[in-house]
Amino acid sequence: MAVKHGGNIQEISEIYQIDKKELIDFSANINPLGIPQGVKATLTKGIAELVHYPDIRYHALIQSIADFHEISAEFVYPANGAAEAIFMLGRTLMLKRLLLLAPTFMEYEAAFSQQKTEFSYFNLEQRNFQWTIAELIQSAKEQQVDGICLCNPNNPTGQMLKQSELEELSLFCQRNEIALIIDEAFVDFTGEEYSLVSSISTNENLYIFRSLTKMFAIPGLRLGYLLTSNRAVLAQIEAKTVPWHINTFADIAGQQALKETRFIKDSQRYIAEERRFLEKGLAQFKELETFSSQTNFIFLRYQGSGCLQEKLIQKNILIRNCNSFHGLSQKYYRIAVKSRVDNKSLLDALEAIL
């Protein structure tokens, strides 16, 4: 099952014959502050380590993740990007019917299709992207699912569930022996208080994906992880894992990145400020309807003619066309929050074409 993604700047460059260095990429949701200096220094020093194999156990990396979340190291599975964690869980966790938001990140379907899982959908567009946990729980009951998978904040809509809502959903899933899978790839742009990690140790049916790609601007390194207290599932995943699946650079970069607490706080403040700037600028265009976001991208509905992505490419700007997401019937796009200079360039381009 091939899934389209943002950040395909090389492909766009080839199709439109534009030097990729000239393109401003709003299609990938990567921290505009770039790679932290501490991580850069670690990578530079780490070149000498490339003559050795990585630690096949990844003990130091696992302990760094555990320390960051204040959980047991036994609950951590490090992965070659969150995508590997998603697919490994999809290969291992036997589910008959999985409830997904529509739209949401599409690799969940690809991953769990490996086990012939059936999918049910909770359509957000039909509710104009306004919904409650009570409605989701009712949908889970009606569709008789044994698994629920959410992205929080949701990709591509940017909506965030509150801690109280997550706890209500977690309690429902525990009582009904339903697997609860939460993808927190973008939660670090909002704050750990919106995470369910604190519930890991008391709920064996809870599975949380995390990514180090977005916050620390290292998508080329590929590093993420799965958190769960279900040791039986973790043992099965580890038995299926290819040896040395994480390279040395990703290993040491991850250990350093999780120490960059000041960088994380600075990034959260910067993203919040630039998101407000961008939302205010986008609101000036009658053709655009934006939806409230709590993370580092903005979801919008385009009510003009033609394809907005195509028009902006002519201005050397790439945004994410959401037409490949399940459950959308109109023209929706996702725009990453970037630097003030880049955000102004986007608004200027929109002014010229709308």
DSSP string, 70-124: TS-GGGEEEESSHHHHHHHHHHHS--SEEEEEESS-THHHHHHGGGT-EEEEEES
Please report which confidence band the pLDDT of residue 109 belongs to, taking 50, 70 and 90 as the band edges. Answer: very high
pLDDT digits (tens, 9 = 90+) for 245-282: 999 999 999 999 999 999 999 999 999 999 999 999 99
Per-residue pLDDT band for 10 (boundaries 50, 70, 90) equals confident
CATH number, position 266: 3.90.1150.10
Domain boundary at 259, 292, 321, which? 259
Kindly report the CATH number assigned to the domain that includes residue 150: 3.40.640.10
- Residue 239 clears pLDDT 80, i.e. is over it: yes
Question: pLDDT for 166-179, tens place per residue?
Answer: 999 999 999 999 99
Long-range CB contact pairs, 91-97, < 8 A, 24+:
91/115, 91/237, 91/240, 92/233, 92/236, 92/237, 92/240, 93/147, 93/179, 93/207, 93/233, 95/146, 95/147, 95/179, 96/146, 97/143, 97/144, 97/145, 97/146, 97/147
DSSP string, 32-64: TT-S-HHHHHHHHHGGGGGGS---TT-HHHHHH
> How far is residue 267's CA from residue 29's CA, in Å, rounded to a whole number?
13
What tokens does 147 get? 């698994």
- 111 occurs within a structural domain: yes
The answer to whether residue 2 is domain-embedded is: no
Query: Which residue(s) pair with 301 in the sheet?
Result: 289, 332
**C-alpha span between 333 and 157 (Å, rounded):** 9
Residues 17 and 130 in one domain: no
Neighbours of 123 (CB within 10 A): 15
* Domain identity same for 200 and 85: yes
What pLDDT does residue 123 have?
97
- Asked whether residue 196 falls in the same domain as residue 179, the answer is yes
Which of 227, 242, 259 marks a domain boundary?
Answer: 259
**243 preceded by a cis bond (ω within 30 of 0):** no
Q: Is residue 125 part of a domain?
A: yes
Query: Taking 90 as the threshold, does the pLDDT of residue 3 lie above it?
Result: no
Cα separation, 310 vs 307, whole angstroms: 5
Lateral strand order in the sheet of 76-79: 76-79, 224-227, 206-211, 179-183, 147-151, 97-102, 118-123
Say if residue 209 is in the same domain as residue 309.
Answer: no
pLDDT at 155 over 70: yes
Closest-CA residue to 229 (of 196, 257, 254, 251): 196
84 HSE (CA, 13 A, CB side): 19
Q: Which residues pair with 98 in a beta bridge?
A: 119, 147
Is residue 236 predicted with pLDDT exceeding 70?
yes
Percentage above 90 pLDDT, the chain: 91
Pick the last residue of a domain from 228, 244, 259.
259
Distance separating alpha carbons of residues 248 and 30, to the nearest angstrom: 22
Q: Are residues 232 and 315 in the same domain?
A: no
Confidence tier at 18 by pLDDT (50, 70, 90): confident
Does one domain contain both 205 and 243? yes
276 and 229 in a single domain? The answer is no
Residues constituting the chain: 354
Specify if 63 maps to a domain: yes
For residue 17, the model assigns a pLDDT of: 84
306-346 pLDDT tens trace = 999 999 999 999 999 999 999 998 899 999 999 999 999 99
> In the prediction, which pLDDT does 7 show?
57
Residue 38: CB atoms within 10 Å: 16
Residue 4 falls inside a structural domain? no
Residue 295 falls inside a structural domain:
yes
Number of neighbouring beta carbons within 10 Å of residue 203: 17
Tens digit of each residue's pLDDT (9 = 90 or more) over 131-141? 999 999 999 99
What does the angle CA 212 – CA 216 – CA 221 come to, to the nearest 5 degrees?
A: 65
Quick one: pLDDT at residue 158? Answer: 96
> Which pLDDT does position 271 carry in this prediction?
98
Write the pLDDT tens digit of every residue in 88-99.
999 999 999 999
Confidence of residue 4 (pLDDT cuts 50, 70, 90): low
Tell me: do 234 and 341 sit in the same domain. Answer: no
3-state secondary structure of 338: coil
pLDDT at 199 over 60: yes
Write down the mean pLDDT value for the chain. 95
Q: Which pLDDT does position 254 carry in this prediction?
A: 98
- Within 8 A by CB and 6+ apart from 133, the residues are 161, 165, 168, 169
C-alpha R_g of the chain: 20
Confidence of residue 195 (pLDDT cuts 50, 70, 90): very high
Q: Where does the pLDDT of residue 165 fall: very low under 50, low under 70, confident under 90, or very high at 90 and above?
A: very high
Which residue range is the domain that position 271 belongs to?
9-30+262-352
Same domain, 127 and 15: no
Report yes or no on 75 lying in a domain: yes
Confidence label for 21 from pLDDT (cuts 50, 70 and 90): confident
The answer to whether residues 21 and 115 belong to one domain is: no
Q: How confident is the model at residue 6 (pLDDT cuts 50, 70, 90)?
A: low
Q: Verify that 160 and 289 share a domain, yes or no.
A: no
Residue 182 DSSP one-character state: E
87 falls within a domain:
yes
Query: Based on the domain organization, do 82 and 171 belong to the same domain?
Result: yes
Confidence of residue 2 (pLDDT cuts 50, 70, 90): low
In this prediction, residue 332 carries a pLDDT of 97
Domain count, the chain: 2
